[in-house]
Copies of this chain bind each other. A is one copy, B any other.
Amino acid sequence: MSKTVLIIYAQPEPSSLTRQLVDVSVERLTAQGHEVLQSDLYAMRWKATFDEHDFPERANLQRLSFGAESAHAFRHRRQTADVAAEQDKVLAADAVIFQFPLWWYGMPAIMKGWIDRVWAAGLAHGYKGAGNAYRYGEGAFKGKRAMLSVAVGGPAEDYAPRGINGPLEQLLFPITHGSLYFPGFDVLPTFAVYGTGALTAAGAAAAKEAWRTRLQGLFEDEPIPFRPQNGGDYTRTNELKPHVAAGQTGLTAHIAGGQATQTQPLEAEVLS
């Protein structure tokens, strides 16, 4: 069945691996009969900084509260046109794919600023004006899928379970769990290509082939089994109940099965 997929990417160099992978996304998803929407953040000259200009009609001109002004602007349709257009694309999409080079273990600022600005109060947090009642598995984007596709300069060993940088999926937890599962997306395991600083033509070809395979499963693969806030695993103060992941603390306790989902071994093997 035909779906709509939004691809958001942050890499201005057309010959980069990230952009080659974006090209693969567009080509494959279109070939599968899906409608593809794109947000090429550099080409759009996306405004990264969330500031007073995001609120053309302020609720309070004396004091700038981002939360209050975001809620006011979203509720009364007084957001800037660029933000509203991105929200419409997300709402129209069945899946959203973020493609970017990993910079300092996170998104490039231009993409972080997309999250900061587009994830409005009343939409991506404070859903239904109900504070934190609907989040982590519930929210405006419930039923949609999300996936990160990341080009990593360093070698896969640095991101191994005991590698010095920490495992990639744990470093990206603030994004996958905190920014995507939070407003309701089902989040697929991250697709990563390592060693892009010294990638050969064969390495790039293998990366593109691995990405084609992953795209094939965009609507079928199992998402990361993050625990839903309102699914019975958490207390009323949103801490894990004693019998859930008993004795565990930290990020991985919020994944059913108790293990951080590792990046598919395929990529690390083929591409490191």
Interface residue ranges, A against B (CB under 8 Å): 12-13, 15-16, 42, 46, 48-52, 63-67, 101, 103-110, 112-113, 115-116, 119, 132, 136, 153-155, 157-158, 160-167, 170-171, 173-175, 177-179, 197, 229, 234, 237-240, 245, 248-254, 260
Contacts and interface: CB of A to CB of B under 8 A. Distances in A.
Residues of A contacting B: mostly: loop
B52 A253 contact: no
A116 to B, nearest CB: 5
A254 B166 contact: yes
A257 B253 CA distance: 20
B177 A166 contact: yes
B119 A49 contact: no
Contact of A15 (B63, B112, B132): B63
Given A104-B179, A105-B174, A238-B158, A113 B164 contact: no
Contacts of A108: 49-50, 112, 116
The 7 A-B residue pairs with the shortest CB-CB distance in the complex, in nearest-first order: A109-B113, A105-B174, A161-B249, A105-B178, A48-B48, A164-B238, A109-B112
Contacts of A157: 237-239
B239 A164 contact: yes
A65 B13 contact: yes
A146 to B, nearest CB: 14
Given A249-B167, A250-B167, A174 B106 contact: yes
A170 B250 contact: yes
12 contacts: A51-B110, A67-B153, A104-B112, A104-B115, A104-B116, A104-B175, A105-B174, A132-B154, A132-B158, A155-B237, A157-B239, A167-B251
A228 B161 CA distance: 17
Contacts of A49: 42, 46, 48, 108-110, 113
Contacts of A67: 153, 197
